[in-house]
Amino acid sequence: MSEIQFSNNFNDLSVKSGTNAGFQFEFNCERCGDRFRSSFVPFRSGRASGWLSKAAGLLGGAIGTAGNVAESIVESGYGNAHDAAFLAAIEQAKKHFHRCARCTEYVCDPCWNKDKGLCLKCAPNAEVEIEAARAAGEVSGAGEKAAAEGVSRGKKMDVKRDRQLVCPKCGAETKGAKFCPQCGEKLAIKNSCPKCASEVSPGAKFCPECGQSMS
């Protein structure tokens, strides 16, 4: 496999100085986001500086001067040590990632179509796509059937009757109920004739305009 640069898909977790100084890098798959973390490599100069700094804080004097010298050593040696550790981490990451020749992204083994030599985003698995398409078709078909059922039910609903949607007493939403769900106020609901749409008084058995039965 050719050299992997990992220019965009890694995080540098290295610590320059202190008792936990060391180098570590985290690489991520650019398709699924799964991460691989390289082995931790201690930075001994940085750790020594950390211990001397702690001792200087307690004792001062010559140890404090030694701590300053150690800091200078850290500054001068960190760059080369960091680069060497990064190259070693890349060698580890190469075993877990592939670079797609089409989209140039780095992906992990599960996101790699080894038969096609491309990532699964550029060369999806046919069997997986078949099942995904079937599932999408089932959802679409069920949605169409549900919509048709909704149309059928809607045609049976009384759409001519006026509904008082807000209680005039407390202002609560009533959703077309006969009584307010908050305060119990009886709501004035106007009835209309299903045949001629004329207004019919509550309790009337027949429409006063066309004689249509209201039962």
Three-state helix/strand/coil letters over 115-143: CCCEECCCCCCHHHHHHHHHHHHHHHHHH
pTM score, two decimals? 0.57
pLDDT, residue 2, reads: 47
pLDDT in tens, 11-30: 999 998 888 899 999 999 99
Residue 209 tokens, joined: 């305009």
**Ramachandran region, residue 91 (left: φ > 0; alpha: ψ -120 to 50; beta: rest):** alpha
Nearest-10 crossing angle of helices 44-59, 62-93 = 150
pLDDT, residue 35, reads: 94
Contact 199, 190 (CB under 8 A): yes
Q: Delimit the domains of the chain by residue range.
A: 10-119, 157-215
pLDDT, residue 40, reads: 96
Nearest to 39 by CA among 29, 20, 26, 30: 26
Phi, psi (degrees; rounded to nearest 5) at 93 = -65, -30
**Structure-token match 């202190």, residue found:** 18
For residues 65 and 137, the model is more confident at 137
pLDDT, residue 44, reads: 85
Contact 30, 48 (CB under 8 A): no
pLDDT in tens, 193-205: 878 878 777 667 8
Contact 60, 75 (CB under 8 A): no
Confidence of residue 158 (pLDDT cuts 50, 70, 90): confident
Question: What is the amino acid identity at position 101?
Answer: A
Is the model's pLDDT at 163 over the cut of 80?
no
Rounded distance, CA 209 to CA 14, Å? 88
pLDDT, residue 176, reads: 80
Is the model's pLDDT at 174 over the cut of 80?
yes
1-5, 41-45, 65-69, 115-119: range with highest mean pLDDT: 115-119
pLDDT in tens, 112-131: 999 999 999 999 999 999 99
pLDDT, residue 29, reads: 95
Lowest mean pLDDT among 12-16, 47-51, 87-91, 205-209: 47-51
Is the model's pLDDT at 48 over the cut of 80?
no
